Amino acid sequence: MPSSSRHLPVLEYLQRQLNGTLAEGEHTHMRYPTAISRLLNFRITAINEASATLELDADAALHGNQQGTVHGGLLCELADAAIGTAHSTLMQEGESFTSIDLKATFLRPVWHERLQAHAWATHRGRSISHYRCEIQREDGKMIATVESAVMTLKGDRAQGR
């Protein structure tokens, strides 16, 4: 018997995926997990409306820069993925989004740590929303803070994104 296909809102889809209750054939209009998250092994550990937490096992041997610490670009990508995941929970069918800026403040170096990036909306507008992301080590020490603005795209502007 063929499985039936069922479309879910992004938030419900991600919650079911996280809880292990996503049934065969259930899908959403956005791609999860994203290709970059699979490549870098980012994991969603918490999801709610306009907020998300992602986890990464960072290792300078794999993700390092010329100084021998984890590259700041990886931390920016982790934050951008957390922010994008948080914002995607607000998307309706036919909507998409794009980051329009990103500002990172690096507070501590990282060598080999499990990191958590928690992102949440600080302002939710009709087209522009603002987010903050805090990246922490397992011991709770802050590694970096990131702020970003995200533009929601609708109609023709959302096509192909």
Confidence (pLDDT) at 4: 76
Instruction: Kindly state whether residue 116 falls inside one of the protein's structural domains.
Output: yes
CATH code for the domain of 140: 3.10.129.10
User: What letter would DSSP give residue 150?
Assistant: E
Each residue's pLDDT tens digit, 56-83: 999 999 999 999 999 999 999 999 999 9
How many domains is the chain built from? 1
pLDDT 10s digits, 6-62: 999 999 999 999 999 999 999 999 999 999 999 999 999 999 999 999 999 999 999
Which range of residues forms the domain containing residue 82?
Answer: 6-158
pTM here is: 0.94
91: closest CA among 31, 14, 152? 152
